[in-house]
Amino acid sequence: KEYFFVGTILVFFILIIQILSNTNVLLSIITTSCFVLIAQSIRFKLFDFIEKINIKTNDNELMVEKLSSMVYVDALTSLYNRRYFNTRIEDVLASKKVDAYLIIIDIDYFKQYNDSLGHVVGDNCLMKIAKSLILSLRGSSDEVFRYGGEEFAIILKNITKKECEKLCLRIKNEINSLKINHPTSLVSDCVTVSQGACSLINWMSISDFISAADENLYISKNSGRNTFTVT
């Protein structure tokens, strides 16, 4: 509508000039000037339109990134969630990395902790444990997940059994150093964790890999808790 209005005014202006003057040169100059003004107006409008499209595209990309983050990140701890764990464990097996380890971590007597102190305190405990696990990692190649409830999982690549044992010990000591009071624990006055870790073997399926780590976690629990088992 803006272009139609501007064009109508310009054409009317040209007709008036043509009536008042028979000079073709003057008419040619005025006509050319009018077309230049129209072209410049269209150009500015086009640039403005393209800029708005670019802004909209960037907004959409940010929205997609935010939604992806919401899908794969645990809302409470800000760790990766079980869904992303399933994706990453598939990637590890697909890459045929035989130097990979999986650690499954369980907070000792957490149900009793929640029941005695309440879910708000329980959530705070989970957040502190999550932060401690992040600080215990070797670097960006290690990935930690909230596996479910009071369980966490860590996927390690390019690591030996001895290095995995050192990491499990570091996790144990870091969490013990938090000195989170646990009035109903049968292990300690403070919150502790049990850990089970296993290495990836070529023939293993995803369920085999997870089951092996779970079995070692079960061994740790039956060995008095606040300890780890690595195979």
Q: What is the pLDDT of residues 213-229, one digit of tens each?
A: 999 999 999 999 999 99
For 50-94, the pLDDT digits (tens) are: 777 777 666 666 665 555 656 899 999 999 999 999 999 999 988
Q: For residue 193, give both structure tokens.
A: 């964790």
Q: Where are the domains of the chain?
A: 2-72, 82-230
Stated as kind and residue range, the H or E segment containing 149 is none
Reference 168, options 102, 88, 214, 124; nearest CA is 102
Find the mean pLDDT for residues 19-43.
Answer: 62
Find the mean pLDDT for residues 113-121.
Answer: 96
- Check residue 230 and give left, alpha or beta (phi > 0: left; psi -120 to 50: alpha): beta
Strand order in the sheet with 193-199: 143-148, 151-156, 101-107, 193-199, 228-230
CATH topology of domain 82-230: Alpha-Beta Plaits (3.30.70)
pLDDT of 22 reads 54
pLDDT of 131 reads 97
The yes-or-no verdict on residue 44 having pLDDT over 80 is no
pLDDT of 25 reads 55
pTM of the model as a whole = 0.72
